[in-house]
Amino acid sequence: MTDIYIPATSDTPEINFKFSNNTLSMSGEAYPENGVEFFRPILRQLQSHLKSLNGDSVEFNFKLTYFNSVSTKIFYSMFELLNEYAKNHPNCVLLNWHHDEEDDTILELGQDVQEDFTWIDFNAIVLA
Amino acid sequence: MSIDLFTLFREEADANGIVFYYSGILSQNVIKTMSDSLKQKLQNQDAKGARSRKVFSTFIEMVQNALHYSPEAPGSDDTKQGSILVGQNQDKYFVICANFIQKQHESRIREKIDPILKMSADEIRQAYRTQLKNDQHSDDTISKGAGLGFLTLARDSVEPIEYVIRDAIGYENELSYFYLKATI
Protein backbone atom coordinates (compact mmCIF):
# COMPACT_ATOMS: atom_id res chain seq x y z
CA MET A 1 0.00 0.00 0.00
CA THR A 2 1.36 3.40 -1.00
CA ASP A 3 1.69 5.96 1.75
CA ILE A 4 -0.70 8.90 1.65
CA TYR A 5 0.58 12.40 2.09
CA ILE A 6 -1.79 15.33 1.59
CA PRO A 7 -0.54 18.75 2.72
CA ALA A 8 -2.80 20.90 4.85
CA THR A 9 -4.89 23.72 3.42
CA SER A 10 -6.86 26.24 5.44
CA ASP A 11 -9.93 23.97 5.49
CA THR A 12 -8.43 20.49 5.10
CA PRO A 13 -5.97 18.76 7.42
CA GLU A 14 -2.53 17.38 6.74
CA ILE A 15 -2.91 13.67 6.15
CA ASN A 16 0.25 11.69 6.69
CA PHE A 17 -0.62 8.01 6.54
CA LYS A 18 2.62 6.08 6.44
CA PHE A 19 1.22 2.64 5.74
CA SER A 20 4.81 1.43 5.27
CA ASN A 21 5.45 1.71 9.02
CA ASN A 22 1.82 1.86 10.23
CA THR A 23 2.06 5.39 11.56
CA LEU A 24 -0.99 7.42 10.64
CA SER A 25 -1.19 11.12 11.46
CA MET A 26 -3.69 13.90 10.90
CA SER A 27 -3.22 17.50 11.95
CA GLY A 28 -4.63 20.94 11.25
CA GLU A 29 -8.24 21.87 10.66
CA ALA A 30 -11.02 20.07 8.84
CA TYR A 31 -14.07 21.84 7.47
CA PRO A 32 -14.02 21.06 3.75
CA GLU A 33 -17.00 21.98 1.60
CA ASN A 34 -17.67 18.31 1.05
CA GLY A 35 -16.16 16.28 3.87
CA VAL A 36 -17.39 12.93 2.60
CA GLU A 37 -15.80 13.50 -0.81
CA PHE A 38 -12.51 14.58 0.74
CA PHE A 39 -12.20 11.72 3.23
CA ARG A 40 -13.80 8.83 1.34
CA PRO A 41 -10.67 7.78 -0.64
CA ILE A 42 -8.57 8.00 2.54
CA LEU A 43 -11.02 5.82 4.45
CA ARG A 44 -11.07 3.29 1.61
CA GLN A 45 -7.27 2.99 1.61
CA LEU A 46 -7.16 2.72 5.37
CA GLN A 47 -9.74 -0.03 5.24
CA SER A 48 -7.91 -2.09 2.66
CA HIS A 49 -4.58 -1.54 4.39
CA LEU A 50 -5.95 -2.78 7.72
CA LYS A 51 -7.33 -5.85 5.93
CA SER A 52 -3.83 -6.65 4.69
CA LEU A 53 -2.33 -6.55 8.19
CA ASN A 54 -2.03 -9.42 10.57
CA GLY A 55 -1.25 -8.28 14.07
CA ASP A 56 1.06 -5.41 13.15
CA SER A 57 0.96 -2.49 15.58
CA VAL A 58 -0.72 0.64 14.27
CA GLU A 59 -0.20 4.08 15.72
CA PHE A 60 -2.70 6.84 14.99
CA ASN A 61 -1.80 10.44 15.84
CA PHE A 62 -4.85 12.65 16.02
CA LYS A 63 -3.69 16.27 16.21
CA LEU A 64 -6.54 18.25 14.76
CA THR A 65 -7.37 21.57 16.33
CA TYR A 66 -10.76 22.14 14.69
CA PHE A 67 -13.16 19.99 12.65
CA ASN A 68 -16.77 20.51 11.65
CA SER A 69 -19.64 18.14 12.35
CA VAL A 70 -19.37 16.26 9.06
CA SER A 71 -15.67 15.59 9.65
CA THR A 72 -16.36 14.47 13.21
CA LYS A 73 -18.73 11.84 11.93
CA ILE A 74 -16.18 10.65 9.36
CA PHE A 75 -13.50 10.33 12.05
CA TYR A 76 -15.89 8.12 13.95
CA SER A 77 -16.03 5.81 10.92
CA MET A 78 -12.24 5.84 10.84
CA PHE A 79 -12.01 4.85 14.51
CA GLU A 80 -14.59 2.15 13.89
CA LEU A 81 -12.25 0.60 11.29
CA LEU A 82 -9.33 0.76 13.74
CA ASN A 83 -11.48 -0.67 16.52
CA GLU A 84 -12.50 -3.62 14.32
CA TYR A 85 -8.86 -4.34 13.55
CA ALA A 86 -7.93 -4.06 17.25
CA LYS A 87 -10.78 -6.41 18.16
CA ASN A 88 -9.15 -9.10 16.05
CA HIS A 89 -5.66 -8.09 17.14
CA PRO A 90 -5.82 -6.85 20.73
CA ASN A 91 -3.37 -4.19 21.87
CA CYS A 92 -2.35 -3.48 18.30
CA VAL A 93 -3.87 -0.02 17.88
CA LEU A 94 -2.66 3.01 19.78
CA LEU A 95 -4.54 6.28 19.38
CA ASN A 96 -2.59 9.34 20.50
CA TRP A 97 -5.21 11.99 21.14
CA HIS A 98 -3.53 15.38 21.12
CA HIS A 99 -5.59 18.22 22.49
CA ASP A 100 -5.15 21.70 23.84
CA GLU A 101 -5.76 21.88 27.57
CA GLU A 102 -8.42 24.56 27.13
CA ASP A 103 -10.26 22.77 24.34
CA ASP A 104 -13.07 21.01 26.17
CA THR A 105 -14.82 20.05 22.91
CA ILE A 106 -11.91 17.93 21.67
CA LEU A 107 -11.23 16.68 25.19
CA GLU A 108 -14.86 15.50 25.55
CA LEU A 109 -14.86 13.92 22.11
CA GLY A 110 -11.74 12.03 23.17
CA GLN A 111 -13.62 10.69 26.18
CA ASP A 112 -16.46 9.54 23.92
CA VAL A 113 -14.01 7.89 21.54
CA GLN A 114 -12.40 6.10 24.46
CA GLU A 115 -15.78 4.80 25.67
CA ASP A 116 -17.10 3.86 22.23
CA PHE A 117 -14.01 2.11 20.83
CA THR A 118 -12.83 -0.02 23.69
CA TRP A 119 -10.37 -2.14 21.68
CA ILE A 120 -8.25 0.88 20.85
CA ASP A 121 -5.55 1.86 23.34
CA PHE A 122 -6.18 5.50 24.02
CA ASN A 123 -3.46 7.94 25.03
CA ALA A 124 -4.42 11.55 25.73
CA ILE A 125 -1.62 14.05 25.17
CA VAL A 126 -1.95 17.70 26.15
CA LEU A 127 -0.49 19.94 23.48
CA ALA A 128 2.29 22.04 24.88
CA MET B 1 -29.15 54.28 0.87
CA SER B 2 -28.05 57.67 2.06
CA ILE B 3 -24.79 58.18 3.92
CA ASP B 4 -26.84 59.20 6.92
CA LEU B 5 -28.74 55.93 6.88
CA PHE B 6 -25.54 53.96 6.44
CA THR B 7 -24.08 55.88 9.40
CA LEU B 8 -27.05 54.77 11.49
CA PHE B 9 -26.66 51.19 10.27
CA ARG B 10 -22.97 51.18 11.21
CA GLU B 11 -23.46 52.92 14.54
CA GLU B 12 -26.31 50.60 15.45
CA ALA B 13 -24.05 47.64 14.70
CA ASP B 14 -21.32 49.08 16.92
CA ALA B 15 -23.80 49.79 19.72
CA ASN B 16 -25.00 46.17 19.55
CA GLY B 17 -21.52 44.73 19.87
CA ILE B 18 -21.29 43.45 16.31
CA VAL B 19 -17.76 42.23 15.66
CA PHE B 20 -18.40 40.68 12.27
CA TYR B 21 -21.09 40.96 9.64
CA TYR B 22 -21.32 39.63 6.11
CA SER B 23 -24.15 39.51 3.65
CA GLY B 24 -23.76 38.27 0.12
CA ILE B 25 -22.66 35.33 -1.98
CA LEU B 26 -21.72 32.21 -0.04
CA SER B 27 -19.08 29.83 -1.30
CA GLN B 28 -16.43 27.75 0.40
CA ASN B 29 -13.83 30.35 -0.65
CA VAL B 30 -15.82 33.14 0.94
CA ILE B 31 -16.19 30.99 4.07
CA LYS B 32 -12.43 30.41 4.25
CA THR B 33 -11.72 34.12 3.93
CA MET B 34 -14.31 34.99 6.57
CA SER B 35 -12.85 32.32 8.84
CA ASP B 36 -9.40 33.93 8.74
CA SER B 37 -10.85 37.31 9.54
CA LEU B 38 -13.08 36.03 12.33
CA LYS B 39 -10.26 34.03 13.91
CA GLN B 40 -8.06 37.12 14.03
CA LYS B 41 -10.81 39.20 15.59
CA LEU B 42 -11.57 36.55 18.20
CA GLN B 43 -7.91 36.16 19.05
CA ASN B 44 -7.58 39.89 19.59
CA GLN B 45 -10.68 40.09 21.76
CA ASP B 46 -10.78 36.96 23.78
CA ALA B 47 -7.96 35.60 25.87
CA LYS B 48 -9.90 32.47 26.74
CA GLY B 49 -9.44 30.06 23.88
CA ALA B 50 -12.31 27.71 24.69
CA ARG B 51 -15.04 30.22 23.97
CA SER B 52 -13.39 31.49 20.80
CA ARG B 53 -13.28 27.95 19.48
CA LYS B 54 -16.98 27.45 20.15
CA VAL B 55 -17.82 30.75 18.46
CA PHE B 56 -15.76 29.72 15.47
CA SER B 57 -17.35 26.27 15.36
CA THR B 58 -20.84 27.79 15.55
CA PHE B 59 -19.98 30.19 12.76
CA ILE B 60 -18.75 27.36 10.49
CA GLU B 61 -21.72 25.08 11.18
CA MET B 62 -24.21 27.87 10.45
CA VAL B 63 -22.56 29.20 7.34
CA GLN B 64 -21.93 25.75 5.86
CA ASN B 65 -25.51 24.84 6.65
CA ALA B 66 -26.60 27.90 4.66
CA LEU B 67 -24.24 26.99 1.82
CA HIS B 68 -25.41 23.39 1.61
CA TYR B 69 -29.13 23.71 2.12
CA SER B 70 -30.22 27.08 0.82
CA PRO B 71 -31.62 27.14 -2.70
CA GLU B 72 -30.05 29.28 -5.38
CA ALA B 73 -30.78 32.90 -4.66
CA PRO B 74 -33.58 34.19 -6.90
CA GLY B 75 -32.36 35.97 -9.99
CA SER B 76 -28.84 34.69 -9.48
CA ASP B 77 -26.89 32.33 -11.65
CA ASP B 78 -26.38 29.30 -9.44
CA THR B 79 -25.16 31.20 -6.40
CA LYS B 80 -26.02 30.81 -2.76
CA GLN B 81 -26.58 33.81 -0.54
CA GLY B 82 -26.68 34.38 3.14
CA SER B 83 -26.09 36.82 5.95
CA ILE B 84 -24.05 36.05 9.03
CA LEU B 85 -23.32 38.09 12.08
CA VAL B 86 -21.13 37.59 15.14
CA GLY B 87 -21.54 39.90 18.11
CA GLN B 88 -20.69 40.26 21.74
CA ASN B 89 -23.00 41.23 24.58
CA GLN B 90 -21.12 41.61 27.87
CA ASP B 91 -19.49 38.23 28.42
CA LYS B 92 -21.43 36.30 25.78
CA TYR B 93 -21.09 35.98 22.03
CA PHE B 94 -23.98 35.50 19.66
CA VAL B 95 -24.00 34.21 16.10
CA ILE B 96 -26.98 34.77 13.82
CA CYS B 97 -27.33 33.44 10.32
CA ALA B 98 -30.03 34.10 7.73
CA ASN B 99 -30.60 32.37 4.42
CA PHE B 100 -33.29 31.43 1.93
CA ILE B 101 -35.02 28.10 2.28
CA GLN B 102 -37.58 26.49 0.03
CA LYS B 103 -41.05 26.90 1.46
CA GLN B 104 -41.67 23.17 1.10
CA HIS B 105 -38.74 22.42 3.45
CA GLU B 106 -40.08 24.59 6.23
CA SER B 107 -41.84 21.81 8.13
CA ARG B 108 -38.84 19.52 7.75
CA ILE B 109 -36.59 22.14 9.37
CA ARG B 110 -39.07 22.66 12.20
CA GLU B 111 -39.22 18.91 12.79
CA LYS B 112 -35.44 18.83 13.09
CA ILE B 113 -34.99 21.80 15.41
CA ASP B 114 -38.12 21.81 17.59
CA PRO B 115 -37.25 18.62 19.51
CA ILE B 116 -33.76 20.01 20.23
CA LEU B 117 -35.23 23.19 21.71
CA LYS B 118 -36.99 21.12 24.36
CA MET B 119 -33.88 19.16 25.38
CA SER B 120 -31.75 19.74 28.45
CA ALA B 121 -27.99 20.07 28.04
CA ASP B 122 -27.60 16.40 29.01
CA GLU B 123 -30.21 15.28 26.51
CA ILE B 124 -28.50 17.28 23.78
CA ARG B 125 -25.22 15.60 24.59
CA GLN B 126 -26.89 12.17 24.51
CA ALA B 127 -28.62 12.89 21.20
CA TYR B 128 -25.31 14.12 19.79
CA ARG B 129 -23.53 10.93 20.80
CA THR B 130 -26.30 8.75 19.43
CA GLN B 131 -26.21 10.56 16.10
CA LEU B 132 -22.41 10.35 16.01
CA LYS B 133 -22.59 6.57 16.25
CA ASN B 134 -25.53 6.29 13.87
CA ASP B 135 -24.09 4.78 10.69
CA GLN B 136 -27.18 4.89 8.57
CA HIS B 137 -28.00 8.39 7.71
CA SER B 138 -31.65 7.68 8.44
CA ASP B 139 -34.42 8.11 5.91
CA ASP B 140 -33.49 11.69 5.28
CA THR B 141 -32.52 11.91 1.64
CA ILE B 142 -32.13 15.67 1.56
CA SER B 143 -29.52 15.95 4.28
CA LYS B 144 -25.98 15.88 2.95
CA GLY B 145 -24.32 16.28 6.30
CA ALA B 146 -23.89 14.16 9.34
CA GLY B 147 -27.22 15.08 10.93
CA LEU B 148 -25.10 16.67 13.63
CA GLY B 149 -25.20 20.33 12.65
CA PHE B 150 -28.08 21.58 14.80
CA LEU B 151 -27.00 19.33 17.69
CA THR B 152 -23.47 20.75 17.50
CA LEU B 153 -24.89 24.27 17.64
CA ALA B 154 -27.17 23.38 20.54
CA ARG B 155 -24.35 21.67 22.41
CA ASP B 156 -22.12 24.75 22.26
CA SER B 157 -24.87 27.29 22.91
CA VAL B 158 -25.23 28.42 26.53
CA GLU B 159 -28.83 29.43 25.86
CA PRO B 160 -31.36 27.48 23.80
CA ILE B 161 -30.82 28.06 20.10
CA GLU B 162 -33.51 30.21 18.51
CA TYR B 163 -34.94 30.27 15.03
CA VAL B 164 -37.53 32.14 13.02
CA ILE B 165 -38.90 31.42 9.57
CA ARG B 166 -40.35 34.38 7.70
CA ASP B 167 -41.79 34.91 4.25
CA ALA B 168 -39.16 36.02 1.76
CA ILE B 169 -40.43 39.37 0.58
CA GLY B 170 -41.28 39.22 -3.10
CA TYR B 171 -41.04 35.41 -3.25
CA GLU B 172 -43.73 34.49 -0.73
CA ASN B 173 -45.01 31.53 -2.73
CA GLU B 174 -41.82 29.54 -3.02
CA LEU B 175 -39.23 30.90 -0.60
CA SER B 176 -38.89 31.70 3.07
CA TYR B 177 -36.12 33.23 5.09
CA PHE B 178 -34.59 31.14 7.86
CA TYR B 179 -32.96 32.90 10.82
CA LEU B 180 -30.93 30.94 13.35
CA LYS B 181 -29.27 32.22 16.52
CA ALA B 182 -26.90 30.66 19.04
CA THR B 183 -25.36 32.23 22.15
CA ILE B 184 -21.91 31.22 23.31
Q: Do B50 and A73 touch (CB under 8 A)?
A: no
Show residues of chain B in contact with A81, CB under 8 Å.
Answer: none
- B9: closest CA of chain A, how far (Å): 32
Q: With cut-offs at 50, 70 and 90, classify the pLDDT of residue A21.
A: very high
pLDDT at B86: 97
Under a CB-based contact definition with an 8 Å cutoff, are residues A69 and B146 in contact? yes
Pairing state between β B162-167 and B175-183: antiparallel
Q: Domain B3-183 belongs to what architecture?
A: 2-Layer Sandwich (3.30)
Look at phi and psi of residue A98 and say left if phi exceeds 0, alpha if psi is from -120 to 50, else beta.
Answer: beta
Look at phi and psi of residue B84 and say left if phi exceeds 0, alpha if psi is from -120 to 50, else beta.
Answer: beta
Measured in degrees and rounded to the nearest 5, phi and psi for residue B81 equal -130, 155
pLDDT at A1: 79
Record the pTM.
0.93
List, in sequence order, the alpha helices (H) in A1-128.
35-52, 69-88, 104-116
Q: Is B30 on the interface with A (CB under 8 A)?
A: no
Cross-strand partners of B181 = B96, B162
Q: Do B64 and A68 touch (CB under 8 A)?
A: yes
Mean of pLDDT over chain A: 96
pLDDT at A65: 94
Q: With cut-offs at 50, 70 and 90, classify the pLDDT of residue B75.
A: confident
Q: Which domains does chain A have, with CATH numbers?
A: 17-25+37-126 (3.30.750)
Question: pLDDT per residue over A49-104, tens digit each?
Answer: 999 999 999 999 999 999 999 999 999 999 999 999 999 999 999 999 999 988 99
Pick from B53, B129, B149: CB nearest A69: B149
Q: Would the pLDDT of B140 be above 70?
A: no
pLDDT at B77: 82
**Residues B156, B139: Cα–Cα separation, whole Å:** 26
Half-sphere exposure of B95 (CA within 13 A, CB side): 23
Cross-strand partners of A26 = A15, A62
Q: Is B113 helix (H, G, I), strand (E, B) or coil?
A: helix
